[in-house]
Structures are given as structure tokens and as C-alpha cells.
Amino acid sequence: MKEQILKRFLSYVTVDTESEFGVDKIPSTDKQWVLAKQIVEELKQLGMSDVTLDEHCYIMATLPSNIDKVVPTIGFVAHIDTSPDFTAAGCSPIVWRDYDGGDLVLNQEKNIVLAVNEFPEILQFKGETIITTDGTTLLGADDKAGVTEIVSAMQYLLEHPEIKHGKIRICFTPDEEVGRGADLFDVAKFGAEWAYTLDGSLPGEIEYENFNAAYAVINIKGKIVHPGMAKGKMINSMYIGSELIHKIPAKEVPEHTEGYEGFYHLLSIVGDVDHTELKYIIRDHDHKKFEAKKDTLRSIVNELNKKYNHLLTLEITDQYYNMAEKVKPVMHIVEIAREAIEKVGLMPITKPIRGGTDGSRLSYMGLPCPNIFAGGMNFHSRYEYVSLTSIERAMQTIVEIAQIVAADDYKK
């Protein structure tokens, strides 16, 4: 199925589905509907049952059980939107057959190179088919690789009825990249006992721990006065913003953290003398440290408000929490994924997610939902790529999970 999988993946990534922060509707961008409708038609043509697309761009479908005994209904979830961190408009994928282990010149005219010395992880895919872009957009393997894997697995199971499986539900969500992918997810309608998101990276990954996450917006009011007459009168809001930035712990930022270490990340700063706005995200796996980081930001704002006569306002919104609390009581669902990963010839890799997925929110909504690999690398970047073999292995992992659950002896 490799060529069929490749064709499907390329058809998805060439549709721009970038989501947008700060939009009070779901989906946040109308262009997500284009791919959603394409997928719906594809699922119907494959023979999936109960294919629905609701008014908020959530796609659901069913693969009916082909066994007599009753086993848990399981689900698989991926998101159709791409990150607003870097444009995906006009994506021009490049297929590199039999990757030779060297640098990939994505765009000779603009001197954009996926260099091995910068991204040595690519060497593990030597000899495989690699998909990149021309370096002017991200690829969208996050998470169109996941969508491809789920659709392809459903096709494979439909075409191979000799493979036994219980009832399987699938869902594709909008707006995951802006933290709203699970906002309107109908868990009762989905009807699965547990699910897996296909939104990880390296082949073999199985993740059930993620960041606790918050979004912070700081607005700073300045006072504009003609600079020639500004002494003792002008208040430059940008200087206050700079002061705030330098009060954030210098080592608690993404470029200095790894593993279980949390961070503050300045997403944007937009301002002039009269008004400046800063947007931060706050992340930590440990809930106490997460709360402490939010308190630190509040303390910094309070300190500057005392100094500058209450010119700053702060809004902090929690986005999602660490799914480990909800998954650990049902760890057999993680063990099933590990067994499936081993059966497709990979070594299971368990590590914390330095981010979040729909699964983190869904776990708190009553649908325990670990995350397994989708295969994409260098997410949210012009250097994003994915191996076709990785996509195939993820698809096979879905098929193996279905068979393990159908055997109904995983708890023994």
C-alpha cells in the first residue's frame, strides 16, 4: 500500500488547513472545511459506516466489528489543522526516493537546506522515502500523517476481513494546534472505551504524559507625548514590556529546557509607545510547578504595576492538563500499544510529550487517550519531514492494536 499511502498523504498536505489563535469560533479558519469534506467523501467511498461531519468540522466514522464476541470499542483520533507558527499555504511537497544520507537541498534559489549536521536524526531514515517541502512552508505531517495512517488502516481492515477486530471509531478534529481540538468533541457520540491519538513523532513512540498548559496575555498601557517635550511625561510601554521579559527566569525558556523541565515561551510582542501586548505560553509536567510558574508571572506583573501605577493587565487561561493522571489507572491501554509497536518491528519509546495533543483534553473528558507516533519530524518548521516507512509502520500499529483488543486476552 505504500504508493497508495503516499498519494493519500500528498493529497492532504497540499490543502492549506492552518488554524488561527484568538478566533471565537470552531473551526477557527474556514479552509479547514475543504480537507474535512474531502476526507468525508473518501471515508464513504472506502465503505466506512456512520460517517458524519458536524457543524464544527469534527469528522466521525465507524468500522463495525467483524467478530461475534463483545470487546471494547476503541478509537483513533488525529487533527486536520496545521500550526499557525509557520505558513502551510502553497505547500509543494518533494518526494526523495531512497534517501542517501546526505543533506537535502529543499530550495536551491533560497539556499534552504535540511542539513544532516543540524538534524542528524534524519540519518535513521537512510534508504527510505522521505517527504519534505521546498522549504517555504511546513509540510503538515503534524498531523496529516496521523490522518493518513488512520484512514489507511481503516482501508486495510476493510480490504482484509480475515483480520479480526471489534468496533472501531475514528475522529478527525479541527483546531488542535490552537488548543481547541477537543473543545466540542462529543465523547458520548464517539462511544469508545478508550482511544489513541496519532500525533507523535519518532517511530515507536508511545506517550501518556504531557504538559500542563496555560496561555497568558499581558497588556501594557503607555503614554505618548511628543518626544521633544517628553521629559517626565512619556511612558514607553515597550520599555516596560522589555523589563517584564527580563524578569522571566532566563533558563526557563524552551531553548534551555528538555525532558520534564517546564518553560515560559514568549509567542509574540507587538507594541508602540502607547500600548504593548505580550503573549506567553506556560508549560510544565508537574502540576505544582505549573501553578508556581503562573504565580511567578502574576508576581512579576504585580511588581511592575506597583512601579508603574497599575499600567499592566494580565489574563491567564488554562489550556489543558497532564493526561497521566487519567491514563495511569488504565495502563493496559498503554501496554496494548507497546505490544502492537513491537509486533511491527519497532522498539517502544516511552517519553513525556513536550507539548499537548487532543488526547490530553479528551482524557479529562472521560476518554483515556494516549498518543502514539505518527512519524513526522521537525514539526512547525520549514524543515519538517516524514518517512513513508514511518507512516506505514504507524498504520500497521493501528491494525495490530485492533487485533490485540479483538483477541480479548490483553488483561490476562
Beta bridge partners of 268: 279
- 107: helix, strand or coil: strand
Burial class (CB in 10 A: 0-12, 13-18, 19+), 120: exposed
For residue 223, what are the CA distances in angstroms to 248, 268, 306, 337? Answer: 24, 21, 17, 58
Beta-strand relationship, 49-53 and 59-63: antiparallel
Smallest CA-to-CA distance from 218 within 199, 193, 243 is with: 243
Q: Which residues contact 314 (CB under 8 A, 6 or more apart)?
A: 216, 217, 218, 297, 298, 301
The residues near 199 (Cβ < 8 Å, ≥ 6 apart) are 78, 79, 142, 143, 146, 176, 357, 358, 359, 371, 374
Q: Which helix (H) or strand (E) holds 196?
A: strand 194-200
Could you give the C-alpha distances from 113 to 11, 133, 271, in angstroms and in order? 24, 11, 34
Comparing CA positions, the residue from 8, 131, 31 lying closest to residue 81 is: 31
Q: What's 360's DSSP letter?
A: H
The DSSP line for 142-191 is HHHHHHHHHHHHHHHHHH-TTS----EEEEEES-GGGT-TTTT--HHHH-
Tell me how crowded residue 17 is: count the other CB atoms within 10 A of its CB.
29
Of 16, 18, 81, 149, which one is the catalytic site residue?
A: 81
Catalytic residue among 149, 176, 199, 252: 176
Annotation marks residue 54 as catalytic: no
Active site residue 176: yes
- Coil, strand, or helix at residue 103? coil
Distance CA 201, CA 109 (A): 29
Residues designated as active site = 81, 176
